[in-house]
A and B are shown apart, each in its own frame.
Chain A
Amino acid sequence: MEFLNDFWQWSAVLSKEKPMQFGLLTVATMAGIGAVLAGCAELVFKALKIDLGKYKKEYEGGGMH
């Protein structure tokens, strides 16, 4: 928690002093956390034996839906 508090404080200073770097940090943090959580969820769903690959959709194979 100490580390996180230091990080938030540092980001607050960065947002005031170096806005461009803060912009990049924001996007990188969001994309990074998003990607890591997507990977974790993949493992959880696999453990639950949920199929996450392509499947037969209602609009495939022609005809009226």
Chain B
Amino acid sequence: MYMPISGVEMAIWPLLLIGFCVGVIGGYFGIGGAFMVTPALNIFGFPMAYAVGTDMAHVAGKSVVSTFRHWRFGHVSVLIAVLMIIGTFAGIEVGAQLIMWLTSKGIEGPVVRWVYIVILGALAVYILNEYFKARKKEIVTGKKYTDVVGTKLSDYVQKTLNVAPVVHCKVANLKISIWAVIFVGCITGVVAGFLGVGGGFLRVPALLYVIGVPTKVAIGTDLFEVMISGAYGGFSYAIKGKVELAGAVIMLLGAAVGAQFGTLTTKYVHGLFIRFLFGITVALACISVSLRQIGWLFERTYSKPVSAFLEDAGFKADQIRQMMVKKDVMYQYIVTEMGKPEWYSAFIKFWWLRELSQWIMLGSAVGLSAYILYLCFQGMAKERSEKRNSSNTSATV
């Protein structure tokens, strides 16, 4: 299919597949999933410049579907979501300013990736450690743990930092100062703006560990935020001409179906298990970003002189970005025209690491969504058989 805005020709099935997988994952974890979509789109030949904007636009539609379903289940705290949004929007602006300052120093790329790696790594370790601790406790006490609500930090935030006005959130069953929620939203916003991501993978842990809401409420509440921020992001990228509407609509068709299953699965599994899979996802994302960082070590040996060479040859920044990831183009310029085979060998290492990093994200998106689907169908079958049994019993009585 021809995409008239970006000018690329692309098959429909990869867009539907990516949309479906990220719909399942987003509905299950309460995130937008940009960190999975962007590399996946790029693997299938979608230009990076349009990948982010198109993803943002489809997230706006997908979150409507997921949020509606979570709201019906009673997983959405509109109050906490609105307060978090206020803080998030303010924070994103601060984060964006910070990144502009780093860009002016010319060090934004590696700094952002290192911060990304540290945050993802720390989150993965904390979440997985918490899960295994709970499982260990189960063995010792013989009691089943289904969710861990609150931490020492969230207790402190709720009970000690209770600066007026304090609100009672019925859905999450907690009392908290609105300033605390806005502040947490602001901090996650700063980090999201700094990393250039939607921030769902930051807000869900913040809601769990700092605000102290149950897992399923964190998921539903974050999706409400994703819906608003996705609409804002989609609009913002669209006015810059960076949204491929046809691509976004096709992705949305897949994502809307996937989101139904992802969201429904949260009904059939316990919060603690959702956290476990979330921890695995974050760990895989950390590995993927780490590979990109290693790739950058090779890329920096040739990128500046090659970019300058291409600029002198009359190419624009957007074109250069696309050329710098194509093997045949780079061979022609680096080896044939510049006579630097050692730079080409560094480029090949960078290229492989970049491919590996993208395939890890795509592979984990497909694998995780397949597993979540399995859980969903298992839960649906169980629910239907329970209903059948209870109707048979009442008929016998």
| Interfacial residues, chain A to chain B (CB-CB below 8 A) | 8-9, 11-12, 15-16, 19-20, 22-27, 29-31, 33-35, 37-38, 41, 45, 48-55, 57-60, 64-65
Contacts and interface: CB of A to CB of B under 8 A. Distances in A.
A30 B241 contact: no
Interface residues on B, range: 35 or more
B387 interface: yes
Interface of B: 3-5, 57-58, 60-65, 68-69, 72-74, 143, 145-149, 173, 214-216, 231, 234-236, 238-241, 243, 245-246, 248-249, 252-253, 256-257, 260, 264, 267, 270-272, 380, 383-384, 387
A58 B146 contact: yes
A57 B149 CA distance: 12
A53 B387 CA distance: 15
Given A38-B256, A52-B69, A19 B241 contact: yes
Which A-B residue pairs are the 10 nearest by beta carbons? A34-B64, A30-B61, A34-B61, A12-B4, A58-B146, A37-B256, A59-B214, A26-B238, A23-B238, A65-B147
B235 A48 contact: no
* Interface residues of chain A: helix, strand, loop or mixed (majority): helix
Contact of A54 (B60, B74, B249, B272): B74
Given A8-B4, A52-B69, A57-B216, A30 B240 contact: no
Given A19-B241, A38-B65, A65-B146, A31 B60 contact: yes
A33 B231 contact: no
A64 to B, nearest CB: 8
A24 B235 contact: yes
Contact of A34 (B143, B241, B256, B271): B256
Contacts of B252: 30, 33-34, 37
B136 to A, nearest CB: 15
Given A16-B241, A34-B65, 7 more contacts: A8-B245, A12-B4, A19-B241, A23-B238, A33-B256, A34-B62, A59-B146
